[in-house]
A and B are shown apart, each in its own frame.
Chain A
C-alpha cells in the first residue's frame, strides 16, 4: 500500500505514524513516571498523540479501499510500511531522555503543523486545528520541565543535556524530505518545504538551548559538512542515512549539508523498530478478523 501511495497519503502516514509510534513510547511511561502527578500529565500527552494519529488515519481511510479500517492501518502494516521518523521508535531511557525527546518532537510538530494550517488540503487543516489546540499543552509541558531541569542542580542539567544529545541527530530527521515532497509543495498541500521547516525549528531550538546554557549540545553535533550517526547510532563507512550538520551563523543556528540516503520517511527503520512492531501489532495480527 505504501509503495504506490499518493503524495497526500505519504504526508498523512508520516504525520500519523510519528504520532502513533511516539504515543506508543510515551504510553510506556504510564504507571511508573517518577513523580505521581507527572505520570497523569504525561499519560494525557501519550493519549493525545495516539488520538491525533487516529484522526489522521481516519482521513487516510477516505482514500483507501473498503478492506482498510483504523486498526488495520495502525496495527496491520509490515514494518517498512510505517513512515515514522526513527526518533519516535527509540525506547525510553531515563526521564531526561524522554523529556528531551518530547521537547524536540513537539517543537518540530508545532513548526510543521503551523505551516500546514495554510495547506490547500482543507480537511487536513480542520484536523490540525484540533490537534494544535491540544499540542499547546504539550509545549507548555516541555517548556515548564525544561526550565525546571535546566535551571536546577547539576544532576538535573546533566540528565536533560544527556537526553538532548542522544536525541538531537534523529530529531533533525523528523524533517527528512518526504517521498513526493516536490509534488506536495507544488500543489500547496505542503506550503513550506521540509528543508525550510528544519531551518525554522533549528533556529528556535538553538535559541532555547542558548537561553538555558545548553547550546553545547548543538556544538557536539557533527560540525559543518561531516556525516553524523545514522539511524542505527553507528557512523558507517557508507551510511544508509545521514542527517545534516549544524553550525552557528550570524547569531542563529542553521543546518549545514543535506540528508543523504533514506530513513524513516521511506520505511527504513532502526533495529529498535522490530521489537516495537512486534509488541504493537502482535496480538492484532495473531487473530485475523477478531474484534476486541
Chain B
C-alpha cells in the first residue's frame, strides 16, 4: 500500500468517527499536528500556573489560600498529563520544556498578561476557565484517543475550578463597593485577552486541525457559546462588558461583537506579550539553575542507608 493510500484510509477512519491509539500508524502530518497542538496545550497549563500562583501568598482567607493552592496544583497536574500524551507522540518532556523556556514553542496568549488584584483571580477562575472549558469540551470528541482520555480527567477537574471561580466572583459582586469594583475593573482589563482566546475567525476548509479531527468546532462557534453562557450571568450580576457592540441579535440567533485588536493578538503570538519575557525568564532561570536535579535523577539508584 502506498503512503498516500494509507493516508486516505486514515482520513476515512477519522471521518467515520474512529479513534486513533498511541501505538498505531499515523500520517506524519497527523503526528506533527497532534504533537504541536498537545504540546502547546501542555505549555499553556504550566505557564497559566504562573499568573495565578502570585495570589496564593496573598489570598484573603485561609480557605481561599488552600483552594487556590489546590487549583494551581491541578493546572500543573494537567500539564503533567498532557506532556505525557505528547511524549508518546515522539518528543521528550525535557526537550519540550527546553523549547518552551527558550521561546521556541508557544503557549496561549491569555497567559502573557499581568495580574493586578484579587479581582483577576475571580476573572481567571471563572471567565477564563469558563472559556477554556468551552474549548476543552469540544476536544472530548477529538480523533486521538489518548488526548480524549486526558481531556476527560482535565474537564472534570476544570468543572470544579469553574465553580470555585464562580464562588469567588459571587463573594466579590455581593460584597463591599470596593470588592465589586475589584471585579468590574478586572473584567474591563481581561475582556480583550478573553476575546483573543478563541482566536481569529477560522474557516473549516482551511483549518488543518479541524480536518484531522484534532479540533472539532470552529473558533467562532466556541466564542458564541462563551457569550451565551457568561454574558447573561455577568449582566445579572450587574457587571458590564467593555464592548459597546456586544449584543444578542434574536433574529440571527447570534451575538454581535466588535473585533478586538488582532494586531496585538499576533504580537503576543510572536512572543511579545506584556509578561512573556518575564514569565519565560522565571521558568528558564529555574530550569537552568536546577539542572543538578535532572542529573541526580539520571544517575544510578542511591545505596540504601547504612
Interface residue ranges, A against B (CB under 8 Å): 24, 27-28, 30-32, 34-37, 39-40, 43-44, 46-47, 50-51, 53-54, 57, 70-71, 74-75, 94-95, 147-153, 155-156, 159, 208, 211-212, 276, 279-280, 282-284, 287, 289-292
Of A32, A54, A291, the contact of B175 (CB 8 Å cutoff):
A291
- Interchain CB contact under 8 A, B302 and A148: yes
Chain A CB within 8 A of B200 CB:
no
Complex interface: chain A residues within 8 A of B303 (CB): 151
Q: Which of A27, A37, A292 has its CB near the most chain B CB atoms (within 10 A)?
A: A292
Cα-based distance from A150 to B305 in the complex (angstroms): 10
Q: B169-182: contact bitstring with A at CB < 8 Å (1 yes, 0 no)?
A: 00110011011000
With A153-B292, A159-B292 already in contact, the answer to whether A71 and B73 are too (CB < 8 A) is no
Is the CB–CB distance between B178 and A287 below 8 Å?
yes
Instruction: Give A48's nearest chain B residue, CB to CB.
Output: B66
Among B52, B57, B290, which residue has its beta carbon within 8 angstroms of that of A28? Answer: B57
User: Chain A contacts of B172 at CB under 8 A?
Assistant: 292
| Complexed CA–CA distance, A212 and B305 (Å) | 7
Whether B61 pairs with A50 at a CB distance below 8 angstroms is no
B302 touches A94 (CB 8 A): no
CB distance from A121 to the nearest CB of B (A): 23
Given A32-B53, A47-B70, A292-B172, 17 other A-B residues pairs in contact with their CB atoms under 8 A: A32-B49, A34-B293, A36-B46, A36-B76, A40-B80, A44-B73, A54-B62, A71-B60, A95-B290, A153-B295, A156-B292, A156-B293, A156-B296, A276-B57, A283-B60, A290-B176, A290-B178
Q: Complex formed: what's the CA distance from A147 to B50 in Å?
A: 30
Q: Does B297 contact A (CB under 8 A)?
A: yes
| Cβ-defined contact, B305 with A208, below 8 A | yes
Give CA–CA (A208, B61) in the complex, Å.
38
Q: Is B286 an interface residue (CB 8 A)?
A: yes
Asked whether A75 and B83 contact (CB < 8 A) given A32-B282, A40-B76, A290-B176, the answer is no
Q: Are B61 and A30 in contact (CB under 8 A)?
A: no
User: With contacts A36-B83, A43-B72, A50-B65 known, is A31 near B58, CB below 8 A?
Assistant: no
Tell me whether chain B's interface is mostly helix, strand or loop, or mixed. helix
Most buried by B among A35, A36, A70, A279: A36
A36 cross-chain contacts in B, Cβ below 8 A: 46, 76, 79-80, 83, 93
Which residues of chain B come closer than 8 Å to A71, judged between CB atoms?
Answer: 60-62
Q: Do B60 and A31 touch across chains, with their CB atoms under 8 A apart?
A: no
A292–B69 CB distance below 8 A = no
Q: List 14 A-B contacts (CB under 8 A).
A: A31-B50, A34-B287, A34-B290, A40-B73, A43-B76, A47-B69, A50-B62, A152-B296, A212-B305, A283-B58, A289-B176, A290-B60, A291-B171, A292-B171
Q: Is the CB of B61 within 8 A of A75?
A: yes
Q: Which residue of B lies closest to A51 (CB)?
A: B66
A46 to B49, CA, bound (A): 16
Q: Report chain B residues within 8 Å CB of A211.
A: 305-306
Nearest CB in chain A to that of B290: its residue: A34
Let me know if B60 and A287 touch, CB within 8 A: yes
Q: A279 contacts which chain B residues (CB < 8 A)?
A: 57-58
Task: Say whether, besides A50-B66, A208-B305, A292 and B61 are in contact (CB < 8 Å).
Answer: yes
Min C-beta distance of B172 to chain A, whole Å: 8
User: How near does chain A come to B121, taking the closest CB pair, in angstroms?
Assistant: 10
Supposing A30-B69, A32-B286, A156-B295 touch, asked if A283 and B118 sit within 8 A by C-beta, the answer is yes
A148 in contact with B297 (CB, 8 Å): yes
| Chain A residues near B176 (CB-CB < 8 A) | 287, 289-290
In B177-198, the 8 Å CB interface with A consists of: 178-179
A-contact bits for B56-88, CB 8 A (1 contact / 0 none): 111111101110011011011101100100000
Inter-chain contact A152/B62, CB cutoff 8 Å: no
Partner of A292, one of B57, B64, B77, B289: B64
Interchain nearest-CB distance for B87 vs A (Å):
12
Contacts of B83 in A (CB 8 A): 36
B93 smallest CB distance to A (angstroms)? 8
Nearest-neighbour CB distance to chain B for A213, whole angstroms, equals 10
Distance between B78 CB and nearest chain A CB, rounded to angstroms: 10
Residues of A within 8 A of B52 (CB): 31
Chain B residue nearest to A288 in the complex (CB): B176
Instruction: Evaluate contact between A282 and B58: CB separation under 8 angstroms.
Output: yes
B178 (CB) vs chain A CBs: closest residue: A287
> Is B179 in contact with A287, judged by CB distance below 8 angstroms?
yes
9 closest A-B pairs by CB: A151-B302, A31-B49, A152-B296, A31-B53, A34-B290, A156-B296, A155-B292, A43-B73, A283-B60
- CB of B290 within 8 A of CB of A94, answer yes
| With A75-B60, A284-B61: A35-B293 Cβ-Cβ less than 8 Å | yes
Contacts of A54 in B (CB 8 A): 62, 66
Contact A31/B76 with A75-B60, A279-B58, A290-B179 known, Cβ cut-off 8 Å: yes
Q: Given A28-B56, A34-B287, A39-B73, do A150 and B61 touch, yes or no (CB 8 Å)?
A: no
- Asked if B60 contacts A35 (CB within 8 A), the reply is no
CA distance A238 to B296 in the complex (A): 43
For A284, the chain B residues whose CB sits under 8 A away are 60-61
Is the C-beta of B108 less than 8 angstroms from some C-beta in chain A? Answer: no
Pick the residue among B60, B80, B286 that contacts A34 (CB under 8 A). Answer: B286
